[in-house]
Chain A
Amino acid sequence: MGSDAVLSAVVKEHGMPKAQCPRPNVGRRVALVMIVCALFAVTPPAFAQVDLTGTWQRVGQNDNGNAREPVDLLGMPLSADGRAKALSYDIAALSATERQCQMYPPFYALVGPFPLQFVMVPDPVTQKLLAWKILGWGDRDETMIWMDGRPHPSKYAPHPHGGFTTGTWEGDTLTAVTTHAKLGDIKRHRGFSSDRATLIYRFNRHGDILTVTGILEDPVYLAEPYVLTENFRLTTNPNNFPLTACEPIEELPSLHENPALVPHYLPGKHPAMNEVTQRYNIPLEAVLGGPETMYPEYRKKIKDNYVMPPPCKESCGGPPPAAPPPAPTGRGAGPAPRP
């Protein structure tokens, strides 16, 4: 079916603009055309679609990417292997020469700090939608969401940083499935997904709000799906951090002097293991995550062990500090402050 046929189908299905209809005439053929035009002219326009193009600023009113303590696995459905992997991780590993240009996996779109930049990729011949592209950030590769029905490649195919993603529309919701991503951390250095993970995104647009639900499944590091949501708001004033070429440099002299050194922690030796417990009185068993920690009944299990800590004194959030009163002006005012 060529593009003309597609156009014909569109007209049949959705009608034709009134302006294209000829004026009344007495000719028989023209009358026939008029009948068709009249019928289409009163058909409600149905060309609307959900357009995702643009820059969507992260709202970020949750702790998806804001956890402060290095060991904060609260509510993460990690398997035993996933927990062991998380607790062995030393963020200094990112300074190793061979890891400095390692990117985050696609799930980072939900937990990273930057906006989502959606671009529509048309088929070069038909100009129909071929894919949606989420542009990359400085440390997350772009995600191409193929909409043309192509299959996912063999499990032995290369695993690029951005993975391989296909999408389908279900009503006004775009569902995308990503496979073939590399191993990477999924909550700002607190837990990992493997190269066998599958990520399902659901993109729901409601006005200028885009809600993304991410369902991550991983037979290696997760015992149950890890599901997060994030809201984004369409913006005309984006604060982007584009993906550019990465060049390794010497970050930690110790790693440079001894290239065989791999920063890590041995089992049970993570120095920040007890930070959340010390700061918030949350039992360590909860801090270490696991599927049971994300269900409401887990509250019963910790109720008797939890004592509310003293009031927050630092890094508590809240309103911004009040602006200083305006400096007095006029003859009685003192000298202007020096820059």
Chain B
Amino acid sequence: MTPLVEVNNLNYSFRQGEFQMPVLKQVSLKLYPGEIVIMKGPSGSGKTTFLTLIGGLRSAHAGSIKVFGQELVNSSEARRIAVRRQTGYIFQLHNLLPALTALENVAMALELDNPGNERQRHAKAADMLAAVGLGQRLQHKPEQLSGGERQRVSIARALVRHPKMILADEPTSALDKQSGQDAVDRLHDLAKDTGTTILLVTHDERILDSADRIVTLDDGVLQSS
């Protein structure tokens, strides 16, 4: 099976004035379609930087990152935007637009490519919200939802475009145990149903058993466990 993401000998450093701060050292990793991989490691180990690099949010200059068959190292902004559009993101905070209802927030992900008509977008968004258990909360604004519900809306927003890959950064850290477990379970089930690859960065020991594979990043060096 061809990997969806193939990272080879990736080096990345932050520049601070004249100093180079190496963050990622010779990292190599393959993600296969439908796989759920959890990346753990102490804070400051470079997990988040790794996520932004394969998501096309940041550009690297040494090594190789192939995402969906496209080389991202030294790539153009247009190619990185193309990768972003086929990727679903779930952030630590929900980052929903406060002015929009849950339904409108999810539908915004559909306005990008081939918008179709409003009715179709809303039908798809409503289906996805129902799938995360928010079928009764479509017209609520973020301020009227609980923390767990908001994060489920942002999961629905990430999944509604049927992305090839989901990147999630500490999605449960702002949630209590029950709603965190609930959110990850739904993410897990939906990803398994649709064959979506997930790379999930977390500290949260409670959700490790959802993973097919666990890798550890320590001080910029990747160890498979």
Asked whether A and B interact, the reply is no
